[in-house]
Amino acid sequence: MSEDGKYSINTDVKYGQLEVLDVPAIVAGCTEKWFNQTLTRVNDSVVRLGIVQGEFHWHQHDNDDEFFFVLEGRLFIDLQDRTVELGPGQGVTIPKSAMHRPRAPQKTVMLMVENRTIEPLGDQTPRAARE
């Protein structure tokens, strides 16, 4: 759970190499509104599963790109100048240093691919998002 208790972010690797990932079982057992689980490590990157509903805070990753791919539901990623909308089977890469805010009006299941050392809560958040 994150420091503010709003997000359940689990950076431990749940599945090792050659283990079968069971995404439907994780989704079925999830009761939190904003859940993130690292599934596996691939070289210096990780694949994470997000099961989300509601809004994440505005943040950016100074040195890391972040890839989002929607499996179920709808994900909106607010940027400073526009909003990217993703449905099932769609993905987008958010470049490093781009201030963004993911949000999902309904339960949404997504995969994220990012550097294993990324700070999931962001390297920088605007003051208003921290208050």
Please indicate, yes or no, if residue 72 is contained in any of the structural domains.
yes
Determine the Cα angle at 121 with ends 120 and 124, to 5°: 120
Please indicate, yes or no, if residue 119 is contained in any of the structural domains.
yes
CATH number at residue 85: 2.60.120.10
Domains in the chain, number: 1
Burial class (CB in 10 A: 0-12, 13-18, 19+), 88: middle
Please indicate, yes or no, if residue 120 is contained in any of the structural domains.
yes
Please indicate, yes or no, if residue 29 is contained in any of the structural domains.
yes
Residue 130 backbone phi and psi in degrees, to 5: -85, -15
Please indicate, yes or no, if residue 126 is contained in any of the structural domains.
yes
Please give the Cα distance from 33 to 53 (Å, whole number).
Answer: 5
Q: 80 lies in which domain range?
A: 8-130
pLDDT in tens, 16-73: 999 999 999 999 999 999 999 999 999 999 999 999 999 999 999 999 999 999 999 9
Q: Give me the pLDDT at residue 5, please.
A: 60
Please indicate, yes or no, if residue 106 is contained in any of the structural domains.
yes
pLDDT in tens, 72-116: 999 999 999 999 999 999 999 999 999 999 999 999 999 999 999
pTM for the predicted model, two decimal places: 0.88
Please indicate, yes or no, if residue 1 is contained in any of the structural domains.
no
